[in-house]
């Protein structure tokens, strides 16, 4: 069976496609999931792709990923900027976690320039729209291979 990685999505990402398309593009989260599945096959990885609007659910899923996956990519969305719980969850688990954002958070409002999650992630990819997801998958796969 293919090794599995989790791709986790935080609040409001279920609204992609209609949510501020000038910032986030016109693809829906389902479109992005499809792209990730196709790309993951080339990396010989299986993916578990999920979205929630609830902080604690993301924490639970990170713990679950630690039990059943070889790594995780997360777009924590707004919780990335605020959540000590997500910081602690990533710290508490032993699998590598890559943080990603569709938009270039550093080119936006100052409150988006920092994330609580970046210091505990393996690395951060942002600013490439939906391609941020496949870049994060590639980076995660390389990191796992090198481990």
Distance between CA atoms of residues 7 and 51, nearest Å: 9
Q: How far is the CB of 16 from ligand DQA (least distance, A)?
A: 9
**Residue given tokens 């096959």 in the structure block:** 41
- Whichever of 86 and 105 has its CB closer to ligand DQA, that residue is 105
Q: How far is the CB of 1 from ligand DQA (least distance, A)?
A: 30
Taking Cα atoms as reference points, which of 26, 38, 32, 34 lies closest to residue 9? 32
Active site residues: 24, 101
Q: How far is the CB of 73 from ligand DQA (least distance, A)?
A: 12
3-state SS assignment for residue 95: coil
95 within 8 A of 69, measured Cβ to Cβ? yes
Cβ-proximal residues to 25 (8 Å cutoff; 6+ apart), any chain: 16, 102, 129, 130
- Whichever of 16 and 70 has its CB closer to ligand DQA, that residue is 16
Taking Cα atoms as reference points, which of 30, 33, 10, 25 lies closest to residue 99? 10
- Whichever of 59 and 70 has its CB closer to ligand DQA, that residue is 59
């Amino acid at each position: 069976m293919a090794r599995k990685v989790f791709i986790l999505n935080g609040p409001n990402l279920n609204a992609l496609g209609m949510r501020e398309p000038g910032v986030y593009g016109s693809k829906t989260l389902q479109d992005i999931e499809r792209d990730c599945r196709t790309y993951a096959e080339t990396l010989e990885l299986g993916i578990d792709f999920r979205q929630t609007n609830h902080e604690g659910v993301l924490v639970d899923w990170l713990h679950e990923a630690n039990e059943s996956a070889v790594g995780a990519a997360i777009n924590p969305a707004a919780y990335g900027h605020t959540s000590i719980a997500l910081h602690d969850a990533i710290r508490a688990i032993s699998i590598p976690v890559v943080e990603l954002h569709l938009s270039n958070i550093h080119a936006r409002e100052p409150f988006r320039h920092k994330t609580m999650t970046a210091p505990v992630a393996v690395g951060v990819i942002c600013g490439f729209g939906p391609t941020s997801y496949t870049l994060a998958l590639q980076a995660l796969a390389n990191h796992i291979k090198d481990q």
